[in-house]
Amino acid sequence: MKYTDEELVSGIFKGSPEIIKTIYDDLFPVINSFVMSNSGSSQDAEDVFQEAQIILYRKIKSGSLVLNCTFKTFLFAVCKKLWLLRLKKKARIPMDYFEQELPDLDNETVESIEKNERYLLYKKHFNRLPESCKKLLLLFFEGNKMKDIAIKMGFASEGYARKRKHHCQKNLLNSIANDPLYNELAGSEIARKISEESIP
């Protein structure tokens, strides 16, 4: 069955298994071929395809998705840019190639892609923290007051809870800053924004 772009967008938003399978069957082979032809693997293609769908879902949910081309062309462009960003970070393609082949996407979509990259980098290093730091920071990100955090963590005082939070945050940001990908992302201010955002 052939679906219209509107039906595909609606299907992604509603999580329709039939629509999602149709998109996968129609588009993934193209994405897989592109990624594998450009220094990637089939697993890389799967990861990129899933990330692109998450980005697309967020744009649909926020009401910011505007299609100036077919749905499939748009999704392919997002996948392509995601993979080219990965290649750029791994220094597997020269800058002139990267610039020439970059899909023409609106600024909001580009920001969505970059925000996803920030999240992945942040999450990787957050998960490497000691369990006590992860628990403390999650409580803080959820909006708990330091006095309540001290009680839940079993700390002697609110002041000690603040000291521990500062220590955990400092270790997290240092860990991110020492990741080679941090400097690769700095060109579009992603590195700066990582330091500003709290993404549990």
The secondary structure of 29-50 as a DSSP string is HHHHHHHHTTT--HHHHHHHHH
Residue, of 171 and 200, whose pLDDT is higher: 171
pTM: 0.53
Only one residue has tokens 């969505």, namely 112
Per-residue model confidence as pLDDT tens digits over 48-85: 898 888 888 888 888 877 777 788 888 888 888 888 77
Per-residue model confidence as pLDDT tens digits over 106-137: 666 666 666 666 777 788 888 899 999 999 98
Give the pair of three-digit tokens for residue 80: 């392509």
Give the pair of three-digit tokens for residue 157: 């005082």
pLDDT of the residue at 132 = 92
What stretch of H or E contains 115? helix 107-126
12 exposure class (CB count in 10 Å sphere: 0-12, 13-18, 19+): buried
Give the pair of three-digit tokens for residue 96: 């002139």
